[in-house]
Amino acid sequence: MNQETSSMILGFDPGRDKCGVAVTDKKGNIYYHEVIESSQAILTLNNLIQQFSINWLVMGNQTTSKQWKKRLENELLMSVPIILIDERNSTLEARDRYWQMYPPQGLMRLLPAGMRNPPRPIDDIVAILLIERYFNSIK
């Protein structure tokens, strides 16, 4: 297996109604990110694990993580190590990151950053941040 395929990480921000998923490599290149319905999470994760030859799954450790971890260990088609990462304040951080990734346009640019709300759920950005937190924790 070459270095590129051996470093693919799947970020997962689990939730009751919706989940954020993201795929990056160890250099931080983002290959995929999306907010999905929780009911589609297992199917989506299985597809991403196969499509990107995922080596690790990094998941937030808060609200519903214990139930999700157990479910993933039972329902993922391939065994992938699951790493729990502290996700405190990740939503606030994800809001700032959203505006870095998608700079505000028009009148939205005039609002102070703290007053801007992203126009869509940002759970996928949280999943990206969880991967980054994992890499920061092992440096």
What count of Cα atoms within 13 Å lies in the side-chain half-sphere of residue 117?
3
Whole-angstrom distance, CA of residue 14 vs CA of residue 99: 22
* Residue boundaries of the structural domains of the chain: 5-138
User: Which residue matches tokens 């993580």?
Assistant: 65
Whole-angstrom distance, CA of residue 130 vs CA of residue 6: 19
DSSP-assigned letter for residue 40:
G
Two structure tokens written together for 62: 């808060």
Q: Which CATH number fits domain 5-138: 3.40.50.11900, 3.40.50.720, 3.30.420.140, 3.40.50.150?
A: 3.30.420.140
- Could you read off the pLDDT tens digit of each residue along the chain, which spans 139 residues? 333 445 899 999 999 999 999 999 999 999 999 999 999 999 999 999 999 999 999 999 987 888 999 999 999 988 899 999 999 999 999 999 999 999 999 988 898 888 889 999 999 999 999 999 999 998 7
Whole-angstrom distance, CA of residue 43 vs CA of residue 132: 24
Amino acid at 49: I
Two structure tokens written together for 112: 């102070």
Burial of 130 (0-12, 13-18, 19+ CB in 10 A): buried
